[in-house]
Structure formats: C-alpha cells, structure tokens
Structure 1
Amino acid sequence: MGGVAKPLLPVGGVPMLRRVLAAVVDASPLVVVGPPELAPALPAGAVLTREDPPGGGPVAAVAAGAAGLAAAGAADRVLVVAADLPFLTREAVTALLAVDADVVMFTDADGRRQHLCAAWRLGALRAALPAQPHGAPMRVLLGHAEVAELPWAGAGPEPWYDCDTPDELRQAEAAQLRADPTSGPHRADAGS
C-alpha cells in the first residue's frame, strides 16, 4: 500500500505494528515475521524473521515465526496474530490466553474462525505445520488440532479486523475516530 510495509501504516495516528506490539507487550520471546523495514519499530530483544521466499502467505509466515521461536527460546503458548490488526488489545490477548486448548481463536458474529488472531500451544502448532508451507491455506493447520472458538465479547471494534486494502485502512481510521474523536492522522505523536 503505497510502497510502505502495511504494519507501519497508521490508524488514529499510530502505526498498526505499534498497536499490535502494545497488545502483546508481555509476550516473551517476541518474534515478528516481516520485511526488514519493521526492524526499527521493534523493541529490544525482539527477533525479526522472514518467510523464505517472502510473500509465501500466512502459513509460511507462521512457519517462519515458529522457527524464530526456536532461535529465541520458546514458550509453551504462542500468539499467532497479524501485524496489521489496529484494534488488537491486551484485553483480547488475555482472553485468548485464558482458554486452555491446543489452539483458541476468535470467531466473528457468523462463526468464522479468525486464524490470525489466535493462541496456540507451541507443540500443537509445530505438529500442524505442513512440510511445504508456502502458499498453504490457514485451515490446513487445524486438521488435527483441538480448536476452541471464542466469540468476541469485548467493547469496541473486533480485534481481528485487518487492513489489507486502502479501503479497509480508511474504514479502520473511521472506526478509530468514532471510538476516540481525539485520535487521527494529525496527532502530535503520530510519528513517534
């Protein structure tokens, strides 16, 4: 979108990556899958990795993240969240981690699973990864996993809302302005 890495685009004057990092602030280790442009936005100690080849889709990115966890020292539970979720909150992350299952993911009002707003047991995630993750659909990960579905009961926009297009980014900006009229692209801290 305009030659800028999607996670660095702002909603309410705050880059989406910064919003996601604030929601997962207690995650340790922290592995982010994405282009090198994200490195300056990451906290100290975070591992930045990339799927090989780049652009292999979400399963390839999840596989790269799982490999990055091995290098960083893994935890038992891991969050699998996209970096372009402007409405992901600590409340949502806490709700995911409170459910004891191989994988727990939010579901929307129609019951659709939100694959990139989930928490996994690391062993279950590694067992679910296909040998060739490039181009694989996310549903392939769920074939043998115990999946708990979690309807969103929190306030505000759904935490899994992602911004893949300029129109979705505009919609997120409008939703943010409705939720907080003082936010916006011209906030004083938009670049910090």
Structure 2
Amino acid sequence: MGGFAAVVLAGGAARRMGGADKPTLAVAGQSMLTRVLAAVHDADPRVVVGRVSPELPVPVHVTREEPSGGGPVAAAAAGLALVPDTVTYTALLAADLPFLTGEAIDVLRLTLESAPMEGAVYRDTDGRLQFLCGVWRTRALRAAIDRLATARGGLHGAPVRALMDQLGVIEVSWRRPGPPPWFDCDTDDDLRTAEEWAR
C-alpha cells in the first residue's frame, strides 16, 4: 500500500447532546476520539480537526478550520492541509465512531487499492453512504475540495454531499457480526446504545 494518513473531524456543536464535547465522551471507559485514533494507528500523519484534550494518550497533529464553525468540508480541508502530497490514501472520519476498527479501515483501503475509483465508503443497512467513514485517494480528495471552494467562493457551510458528488466512490458493505463501524453517537440515546453494545 502507498502512504496512509487520517483526518478526524472532532468539531461540531453537538446540539442534540446539549453542546457536549462529543469526542471526549467515553464508551466502555475510552473516549470515542481515542477509539477512532486506535483504528488508524498506522496512519502517518494522524490529524485531528477540533479541540483535543491534553490527556489524549496518542500523538496527533491538531488544527482548526478558519473561521471556526465552518462545517465538515471546511474542517476536512484544514486537516488535509497537514497531509503531505506524497501520501496516497487518506481516511476521512468522524470522531464519534466508537466501533470503528483497524479491520474496517483495512477493508476500505484494500477495496480502494484494487479499483480505479477515488474513494471507498461504507453503505449502511438503510442504503445510506457513510461519507465520514471512508478512505480516499488523497490527490482526488484535495482536488475536489479545491473545485468546490472555487465554485462556492469558499467552503464555509458547504455540505459533505456537495463535496462527495464530485468524487467517484465504491460502496462497501460490512457483513461482520456486531456493531457496524459507521455507528455514530449523535444523541444521548446513541451513547447509551453504544455502551450497551460495548458491554
């Protein structure tokens, strides 16, 4: 495989959770951000876009989109700016994926490596594509972000869908038992469900 990096989006207002700092919330005694970073332990660099606790147990590069609050596409652009051009693949991930694993990332990387497409993402059981649980060809992702910024006059508030519409993706199914790697915690109920699954 070529070089591999990871950009983890750890911003957002978490309005449905009362403004909590979601990535720091624990599932089975470990913060969701730490769990996501463990799934990409072999990525270099690992970039987190957002606030990071000084107690984070692994080394990462930290950045923020400017101005802050610009949304996931602006955050992805800020993170990708710290990824060298020599890196072939970049995982673009939400920070609230408590069941993401190295195996799930490897499936995406191997799928993308064997196909002439620009990204590989999971398709959930309802048929939705999980764009923030995917692996991308770095140059293609960077070029799509640049095109979108030019078309919109900037990236502030740009929806993820607008970015991904410019990229050819492979849809990957997850058929292993247990919680799916794309399960994210947007509400307190989601967090309780994650705790129950983790037990």
Verify same fold: TM over 0.5: yes
Alpha-carbon distance between aligned partners in 1 of 2:87 and 2:177, rounded to the nearest angstrom:
29
Task: Tell me how far 1:57 sits from its aligned partner.
Answer: 1.5
2:132 aligned residue: 116
Structure 2 residue 78 is matched with structure 1 residue 64 = yes
Give the 5 Å matches for 1:10-89. 10-35=26-51, 37-41=52-56, 43-44=58-59, 46-70=60-84, 74-89=86-101
Cα deviation for residue 74 of structure 1 reads: 4.9
Residue deviations 1:39-83 (CA, integer Å, cap 9, x gap): 541523x2101111222221111111111214xx65110000111
1:136 aligns with 2:151: no
Paired residue secondary structure (2:83): helix
Give the aligned residue type for 1:86.
P
Tell me, yes or no, if the aligned pair for 2:97 and 2:181 is still in contact at 8 Å: yes
Q: Secondary structure at the match of 2:192?
A: helix
Query: Which 4+ residue blocks in structure 1 deviate beyond 3 angstroms?
Result: 1-4, 37-40
Report the counterpart of residue 99 of structure 1 in structure 2.
111
Letter in 1 for 2:106: T
Residue number in structure 2 paired with 1:182: none
Inter-partner Cα distance in structure 2 for 1:133 and 1:38: 27
Partner of 1:41, secondary structure, is coil
Match of 1:168 in 2: 190
What TM-score comes out, normalization by structure 2 length? 0.80
> 1:110 is matched by which residue type in structure 2?
D
Q: CA deviation at 1:94?
A: 0.5
Shift of 1:155: 2.5
Question: In the alignment, is residue 151 of structure 1 matched against residue 173 of structure 2?
Answer: yes
Whichever residue aligns with residue 144 of structure 1, its letter is Q
Alignment length (residue pairs): 173
TM-score by length of 1: 0.83
Q: Percent identity?
A: 50
Indicate the SS of the match to 2:176. coil
Deviation at 1:23, TM superposition (A): 0.5
Given that 2:37 and 2:46 are in contact with CA atoms closer than 8 Å, whether structure 1 keeps it comes out as no
Query: For residues 90 and 67 of structure 1, what CA distance do their matches in structure 2 show?
Result: 24
Q: Deviations over 1:163-190 (max 9, x none)?
A: 122221112112212xxxxxxxxxxxxx
Unpaired segments of 5 or more residues in structure 1? 178-192
Query: What RMSD, in angstroms, separates the aligned Cα atoms of the two structures?
Result: 1.7
Q: Give the 3 Å change call, closer, same or farther, for CA 47–4 of structure 1 in structure 2.
A: same
Q: How far apart, CA to CA, are the structure 2 residues paired with 1:158 and 1:150?
A: 12
